[in-house]
Amino acid sequence: MSIMLKCLSHTPLRGRNDPGADVVTEVDAVLNTARAEVEAFDPELILVFAPDHYNGLFYDLMPPFVVATAAESVGDYGTLPGSLSVDSELALELTRHLMDSDLDIALSHRLQVDHGCTQTLEEMTGSLSRYPVIPIIINSVAPPFVPYRRIRKLGEAVGRFLAGLNKRVLILGTGGLSHEPPVPLLADSPEEVKEFLICGRNPTPEARAAREARTIAAGKIYGTELCQQTPLNAAWDEAFIELLQSGALEQVDDFDIQQISAEAGRSTHEVRTWVAAFAAMAACGPYQARKDYYRPINEWIAGYGVVSATPA
């Protein structure tokens, strides 16, 4: 097999609440280069580790991680709607492999996915169906979370599976880095918000529009004294990228979930997808990781990073 990794922040505020034109142009160029690299690699399979933001998964049954054999985009924030071209047979085989590896993975034969999965697929391939894909959703937004070491072990087991395939595989991780958009917490919420968090699937167009407007409004004041949310933390982000580049992934076993939330924001845990992606990469052999881009972008509510890795 041959393998390539890309981990990217996502943000539905890209194109909706943009920073200055210089930054937009810079990011466009980085994404264009990354997309061209994917095109040249011509993957036969994309394994995408993604979070969900109360669009496909709710507290009526919240799995730590789930493999999908079929997935449909909810098309939130203007992302592409429609079906992902999931390789169902292979997804089921992967599920069996993970269970045989002592990982209690959940399985979905019909999963709704959101911008957390689709934005990066679209940015990297221009489509949701150009290449066969297997989505693994990692709970990164709805506490409580399993420890980071469990995510590392999940990634390793996925990587061992990929290493046994005779395919060109692109591993994607999507989310992070430091950030805290206005996502409600079950414990602090009034009754109607609790109801949404527990079983808010398929919201009305009005409810979806209100949510998107809330996120955009938050983007307008993020990082200012008007904003209640934890600000971006470039130092945390840079250290995390260096950790990934060092290859010393076992250091994530010491990550303290509460401390990360406090220092870098609650949605920073989307980096769990990066941890899984790099652990999968590492299970396929030594790698070299390249920081393609990093900039804290308040308008996007994102410590915005792009990192690539290839075999060393």
Within positions 87 to 146, which residues make up the interface with Fe ion, using CB under 5 A? 116
Q: Does 120 bind ligand A1EG2 (CB under 6 A)?
A: no
Give Cα 202 to chain centroid, integer Å.
Answer: 21
Choose the binding region for ligand A1EG2 from 4-12, 15-23, 104-112, 248-256 (rule: CB under 6 A). Answer: 4-12
Q: Does 267 bind ligand A1EG2 (CB under 6 A)?
A: yes
- 10 as an active site residue: the answer is no
Contact pattern for ligand A1EG2 over residues 39 through 58, marking x by CB under 6 A: --------------x-----
Among the listed residues 19, 132, 135, 175, the single contact to ligand A1EG2 using CB under 6 A? 175
Torsion sign across C-alpha atoms 261, 105, 115, 275: positive
Structure tokens at 301: 């509510």
Distance CA 107, CA 95 (A): 7
Q: Does 179 bind ligand A1EG2 (CB under 6 A)?
A: yes
Q: Which one, of 141, 72, 126, 134, lies nearest residue 105 by Cα?
A: 134
| Residue 132 interacts with, from Fe ion, ligand A1EG2, none (CB under 5-8 Å by kind) | none
Within positions 194 to 213, which residues make up the interface with ligand A1EG2, using CB under 6 A? 211
Structure tokens at 15: 């194109």
Q: Which one, of 55, 56, 60, lies nearest residue 199 by Cα?
A: 60
Q: What b/e readout covers 155-179, taking b as 16+ CB neighbours within 10 angstroms? A: bbbbbebbeebebebbbbbbbbbbb
Phi, psi (degrees; rounded to nearest 5) at 114: -120, -165
Taking the least distance from each CB to ligand A1EG2, the nearer of 183 and 234 is 183
- 115 as an active site residue: the answer is yes
What single DSSP character describes residue 78?
Answer: G
Choose the binding region for ligand A1EG2 from 5-13, 16-24, 57-65, 132-140 (rule: CB under 6 A). Answer: 5-13
Give Cα 10 to chain centroid, integer Å.
Answer: 7
Q: Does 135 bind ligand A1EG2 (CB under 6 A)?
A: no
- Give Cα separations from 83 to 87, 120, 133 (angstroms): 12, 15, 11
Q: Does 64 bind ligand A1EG2 (CB under 6 A)?
A: no
Amino acid residing at 261: S
Q: Does 112 bind ligand A1EG2 (CB under 6 A)?
A: no
Write out the residues near Fe ion by the rule CB under 5 A. 116
Residues annotated as part of the active site: 115, 179
Write out the residues near ligand A1EG2 by the rule CB under 6 A. 10-13, 53, 116, 175, 179, 181, 183, 211, 215, 267, 270, 301-302
